[in-house]
Amino acid sequence: MPELPEVEVVRAGLAPALVGSRVADVEVLDARALTRHAAFGPDPAGDFAARLAGQGILSAVRRGKFLWFPLSSPAGECVVGHLGMSGQMLLRAPGAPRERHERIRILVEHPSHGLVAWVFADQRTFGSLAIDPLVATGDGAPGGFGDDRALVASQAAHIARDPLDPAFDDLALRRALARTSSAVKRVLLDQRVVSGVGNIYADEALWAARVHPETPARALSTRAANRILAEVRAVLTRALAEGGTSFDAQYVNVNGQAGYFARSLQAYGRTGEPCPRCGRPIRRAAFANRSSHFCPACQRAPRVA
């Protein structure tokens, strides 16, 4: 499932082909891939294509799991996208066969690479694209990774910066942890507090920090909170270096290739296998409509009050 490392791999892969290019054609094959654009009237597909036609693409930017591509229009708009659970952004040759779950195909012309097909494919249709206005960031820092301007897609403006962003506010995270009795994992998954972290890397960071996912956030010491943040950064950095985590065909880079970090996971998806640290079996537990994976020995459950 695409989290920060996977989305960054996609952004970095798209940038050379898209930045500096101009949109030559837009095909919307499934309007469900435009749910984020649905506010633009009764024909979101037609509106999306019309607004995008002829636009230049200025940069490829990411904050957390959101991607956006500022356009040359004087209106200050961008194409904003979220991959959801199974979205893919692929680069293909013009006229290449349709991908199995292809939803949108945007043909761009790049001054060096010529015509390139930018394909949005998505099995579960939780992902979406939209034309979106750019708005000023609240702190004056660059809106995301890939663009120095203090602008952010409006649909991504409500989420916090991600932990790899130089402008990430460590103190704000510690304060957020200190003011809620919610489980620490729930806070890590709250994109308004810290963006880019999903179920996989939350489990991995908490395992590395030896903190049980159900620990009430406000019960954490400052030292433990700092350790969790350090481990979040470490696991995201390692995963990024290995091209992200691929369990199946749901996550691939822009060329359709899988990442390697699944081999480096210590807890996530390893139910029943020995903990790499102590040898006790990794346990899986239901958590907020999904699962947590942890070592019951290394990560002690919080005491019930």
Partner DNA sequence: GGAATAACCTGGATGC
Partner DNA sequence: TGCATCCAGGTTATTC
> Cα(227)–Cα(232) distance, rounded to whole angstroms?
9
6 catalytic per annotation: no
Which residues is 66 bridged to in the sheet? Answer: 63, 82
User: What are the structure tokens assigned to 216, written together?
Assistant: 């009430």
Q: 36: Cβ–Cβ under 8 A, 6 or more apart, which residues?
A: 80, 81, 82, 128, 129, 130, 132, 155
User: What are the structure tokens assigned to 187, written together?
Assistant: 């806070």
Residue 290 makes contact with DNA by CB under 7 A: yes
**Which string of x and - marks every residue 92-111 that binds DNA (by CB under 7 A)?**
--------xx----------
116 vs 163, which CB is nearer to DNA?
163
248 vs 263, which CB is nearer to DNA?
248
Residues touching DNA: how many (CB under 7 A)? 36
b/e code 283-303 from CB counts within 10 Å (16+ = b) = bbeebeeeebbbbeebbeeee
Q: CB of 184 within 8 A of CB of 213?
A: yes
For every residue of 230-251, DSSP letters joined together read: HHHHHHHHHHHHTT---SSTT-
268 vs 294, which CB is nearer to DNA?
268
Residue 244 makes contact with DNA by CB under 7 A: no
Q: Shortest distance, CB of residue 45 to DNA, whole angstroms?
A: 15
In the chain the first and final C-alpha atoms are separated, in Å, by 35
Q: Shortest distance, CB of residue 41 to DNA, whole angstroms?
A: 17
Q: By CB under 7 A, what part of segment 160-189 binds DNA?
A: 179-183, 186, 189
Q: By CB under 7 A, what part of segment 213-242 binds DNA?
A: none
185 catalytic per annotation: no
Q: Which of 113, 238, 283, 284 binds DNA (CB under 7 A)?
A: 284
Identify the active-site residue in 65, 105, 185, 270: 65
**Which string of x and - marks every residue 115-154 that binds DNA (by CB under 7 A)?**
--------xxxx----------------------------
> Cα(251)–Cα(24) distance, rounded to whole angstroms?
27
Q: CB atoms < 10 A from the CB of 161, how many? A: 25
77-82 and 87-92 beta bridge pairing: unpaired
Identify the active-site residue in 2, 44, 70, 163: 2
b/e code 164-196 from CB counts within 10 Å (16+ = b) = bbeebeeeebbebbeeeebbbbbbbbbbebbbb
Q: Shortest distance, CB of residue 1 to DNA, whole angstroms?
A: 4
Q: Which of 154, 291, 296, 297 binds DNA (CB under 7 A)?
A: 291
Q: Shortest distance, CB of residue 158 to DNA, whole angstroms?
A: 7
Q: Give the position of tokens 């945007």.
A: 106
Q: Which of 65, 92, 185, 270 binds DNA (CB under 7 A)?
A: 65
Q: Which of 21, 59, 191, 253 binds DNA (CB under 7 A)?
A: 191
Q: By CB under 7 A, what part of segment 259-278 binds DNA?
A: 268
44 catalytic per annotation: no
> Cα(83)–Cα(220) distance, rounded to whole angstroms?
32
> Cα(121)–Cα(128) distance, rounded to whole angstroms?
10
274 catalytic per annotation: no
Q: Shortest distance, CB of residue 112 to DNA, whole angstroms?
A: 32
Q: Which residues are known to be catalytic?
A: 2-3, 65, 290
Which residues sit at the interface with DNA, rule CB under 7 A? 1-3, 32, 64-66, 82, 84-85, 100-101, 123-126, 155, 158, 179-183, 186, 189, 191, 198-200, 248, 268, 284, 288-291
